[in-house]
Structure 1
Amino acid sequence: MSEIRTDPLTGYTTIFAPERAQRPIALSLDPTPSEITQEQLESDPFAEGKEDETTPELYAVRSAGTQPNQPGWQLRVVANKYPALTPYAVAACGSNHYGVHEVIVECPQFETQITRLGSSQFQEIFRAYRQRVATHREDPQLDYVIIFKNQGILGGASLGHAHSQLVASQMVPEAMQQELKAAQKHFAETGSSLFETLFQKQPNGVSGLVMSTPHFYVVCPYASRFAFETWIIPRTLNTHFDQSTDQELDDLSDLSRRLLLALEDILGSHDFNFVIQTPPFATSDQSGYTWSLRVYPRLAHLAGFELATNMYINPVFPEQAVEMLKKQLDS
């Protein structure tokens, strides 16, 4: 039976239609080809040894004695050659066009699947994220930053080599403004965080809590837009991602890797996005807002209904996803 739920934080409405999972699918996409072609290897601009094909590195994890923009790195951050926002404020266009668009190259070898990277590589990735967010916080022309990863065709990736991206701007998106208003309103009315409701039982008895670690909760939101959508939320309910300690980041990197592997075991090889949603730099720690890492498995294209209505159809109730993820993460 179908059910309609609206998320009190994001404002998005989802129609849960489990019968849709049974519909025939005539089209097939293989998001992860079993063999890497020589053409892919030769055309990979992010590979070690091709540093001259990217912009100069802004941050890197390197072996001792190696030089910037030369081989010998484990992770590099470079400016996107095709940025969504310009790094130069053009007065004629208005200053709100100013922004930063960076690429975090997650490994030196050609690898399409982040789940094939090791634990230490995950740690370096999350520490790089924190360093870049903290760096852009110091720029008075920037107000907001988002980190995101697109993996596979359905995830919107244009290059196969494992990488993620960062965009910082003066513009705060409407979606973030909606979340801030909802969090602030809930905090003002109740004195508690709206994010706490994500791992507490709903009025109908449903709980989105999958598991917890010393530093984080793993939850499937009550009105998940995507099948097996999963969020990681800090137990401290800290406001800003770059407030995270080394211990928290180590826990986050290990937990993220485990979660992505668990989703892969349940769903098979699939495309996905993940996003680190952190509020504008000026957001007060008393706002009731909490940063989060959100994983969106992309098992199907967004279609006309979603584009026309800004509503979503999900064939998997989050409580079903919770039980399956619990079993997989406990195994």
Structure 2
Amino acid sequence: MSVIRTDPLTGFTTIFAPERAKRPIAIAKTAPFDEDIQVQMETDPFAEGKESETTLEVYAVRTSQSEPNQPGWSLRVVANKYPALIPSNDPSSDQNSYGVHEVIVECPQFETQVTRLGLSQFQEIFRAYRNRVAVHRCDPQLNYVIVFKNQGILGGASLGHAHSQLVASQVVPESLSQELETAQRYLEQHENSLFSTFSQEMPSGFSGLVTSTTHFNVVCPYASRFAFETWIVPRTLRTHFDDSTDQELDDLAQTSRRLLLALEEILGSHDFNYVIQTPPFDTTKESGYAWSLRIYPRLAHLAGFELSTNMFINPVFPEQAIKHLKKQLGS
């Protein structure tokens, strides 16, 4: 039986259709051949020793003896060579096209699966995110920043080497503006944050809570657009990601790594996206908004229905995802 739900924060509508999981798939996604991996490794521009193939680094974690833009690093951040936005005020360009597009290279060796990185590497990654968001906050021409990871073909990755990206812009996406308006309206009406309800039981009996840590709640949204979509939300309901403490980032590194490994155990090796959704720089805690890390497993292509209606079809109810995740995480 199909069920239609609308997410209380995002406004996205999802049709839950478990029967869709039984449909035959004649077009399979094949794993890359060994020779394909070899070619990727040989041509990998992000590998240690190929620093000249990227732009100059703007942030790096490296040994004390090493020099910038030379080997000896464990993480590098560089400007994207093919940016979506350009950090220049060219009078001939669109006035809103000013921005920053960076790549966070997450490890020096060729590795396609971020889950194969260790906890200390995850900690470095999230510290790098915080640093870069804080840096761009200081630019008065920028209003908003998003950090995201594309892994695999369905996730939109163009290079196999584990990396994530950051885009800072003058323009705040309309979807985020709608989230902010919804959060503000909910706070005014109920005197508490809508984000605080994600881990609580709804009147319908639904509870999105998967597990809790010292600093975070792991939840599956009521109207998940993707099978096993999962969010990590700070229990303090901290507004901005770059205000996170070292202790919170260490917890986030461990929690996200455990969660990605659990999803891999349940779904097998799969493509995915994750996004750190943090509000515009001028957002205050009085908005009722909290940043979150949102994980979107990509088990199938978006098709004509989704693209034309902005509605989504999901074969897995969040209740089922929560049950599997709790079992895998031992919570």
Common fold: TM-score over 0.5: yes
Name the structure 1 match of 2:45: 45
**1:71: which partner in 2?**
71
Does residue 141 of structure 1 match 2:141?
A: yes
Query: Following the alignment from structure 1 to structure 2, what is the Cα–Cα distance between the partners of residues 37 and 272?
Result: 19
Report the 3-state secondary structure (helix = DSSP H, G, I; strand = E; otherwise coil) of the residue aligned with 2:237.
coil
Listed one character per residue, the Cα deviations across residues 9-44 of structure 1 (whole Å, up to 9, x for unaligned) are: 101000000110111111111356667633111100
- 2:292 corresponds in structure 1 to 292
Tell me, in whole angstroms, the C-alpha distance in 2 between the residues paired with 1:83 and 1:229: 28
Distance in 2 (CA, whole Å) between partners of 1:230 and 1:35 is: 34
| Deviation per residue, 1:124-149 (Å, 9 max, x gap) | 00000000000000000100000000
Structure 2 CA distance for aligned equivalents of residues 242 and 281 of structure 1: 10
Q: Deviations over 1:100-158 (max 9, x none)?
A: 00000000000000000000000000000000000000000100000000000000000
**Aligned pair in 2 of structure 1 residues 159, 171: CA closer, same or farther (>3 Å)?**
same
1:5 aligns with 2:5: yes
Q: What is the 5 A alignment of 1:79-118? A: 79-118=79-118
Gaps of 5+ in 2: none
Contact 1:31 1:153 in 2 (8 A): no
Is the Cα–Cα contact under 8 Å of residues 31 and 152 in structure 1 kept in the other structure?
A: no
Following the alignment from structure 2 to structure 1, what is the Cα–Cα distance between the partners of residues 194 and 224? 16
The aligned residue for residue 259 of structure 1 is 259
The letter for the 1-side match of 2:265 is D
Quote how far apart the aligned CAs of 1:198 are.
Answer: 1.1
3-state SS of 1:96 partner: coil
**Structure 1 contact 144–169 (Cα < 8 Å) conserved:** yes
**Whole-angstrom distance in 1 between the partners of 2:299 and 2:330:** 24
Q: Which moved more, 1:226-235 or 1:86-95?
A: 86-95
Tell me what 1:18 maps to: 18
1:174 maps to 2:174: yes
Report the equivalent of 2:313.
313
> C-alpha separation between the residues in 2 aligned to 1:231 and 1:86?
31
Q: Which residue of 1 aligns with 2:205?
A: 205
Within 1, Cα distance between the matches of 2:156 and 2:204?
36
> Aligned equivalents of 2:78 and 2:31: distance in 1?
26
Structure-2-length-normalised TM-score:
0.98
Counterpart Cα distance in 1 of 2:272 and 2:26: 21
Q: CA–CA distance in 2 between the matches of 1:321 and 1:225?
A: 12
Letter of the 1:275 counterpart: V
The answer on whether the counterparts of 1:130 and 1:241 sit within 8 Å (CA) in structure 2 is: yes
CA distance in 2, matches of 1:30, 1:61: 35
Say whether the 8 Å CA contact 1:86–1:100 is kept in structure 2. yes
Distance 1:266 1:286 in 2: 39
Name the SS for the 1:148 alignment partner: strand
Return the alpha-carbon distance in structure 2 between the equivalents of residues 178 and 141 of structure 1.
Answer: 22
TM-superposed CA distance for 1:95, in Å, is 2.8
Shift of residue 285 of structure 1?
1.3
Query: Deviation of residue 185 (structure 1)?
Result: 0.5
Q: State whether residues 32 and 270 of structure 1, in contact with CA within 8 Å, keep that contact through their aligned partners in structure 2.
A: no
**Cα distance in 2 for residues equivalent to 1:313 and 1:149:** 23
Please tell me the residue identity of whatever aligns with 2:217: Y
Q: Report the residue type matching 1:191 in the other structure.
A: E
Q: Supply the AA of the counterpart residue of 2:160.
A: G
Counterpart of 1:161 in structure 2 is 161
Quote how far apart the aligned CAs of 1:90 are: 2.1
Unaligned 5+ segments in structure 1 are none
Asked if the contact 1:127/1:249 (under 8 Å) is kept, the reply is yes
1:283, 1:33 → 2: CA distance?
47
Q: Does 1:324 align with 2:324?
A: yes
Matched, 1:232 2:232: yes
Question: With structure 1 as the length reference, what TM-score do the two structures score?
Answer: 0.98
Q: What is the CA–CA distance in structure 2 between the aligned matches of 1:296 and 1:140, rounded to whole Å?
A: 32
SS in 2 for 1:149: strand
Please provide the CA RMSD for this pair. Answer: 1.1
2:100 match: secondary structure: strand
Q: Identify if the C-alpha distance between structure 1 residues 212 and 319 changes in structure 2 by more than 3 Å, giving closer, same or farther.
A: same
**Distance change (3 Å), C-alpha of 1:135 and 1:241:** same
C-alpha distance in structure 2 between counterparts of 1:78 and 1:303, whole Å: 33
After superposing on structure 2, the runs of 4+ consecutive aligned residues of structure 1 that deviate more than 4 Å are 31-36
Secondary structure at the residue paired with 1:302?
coil
- Paired residue total: 331
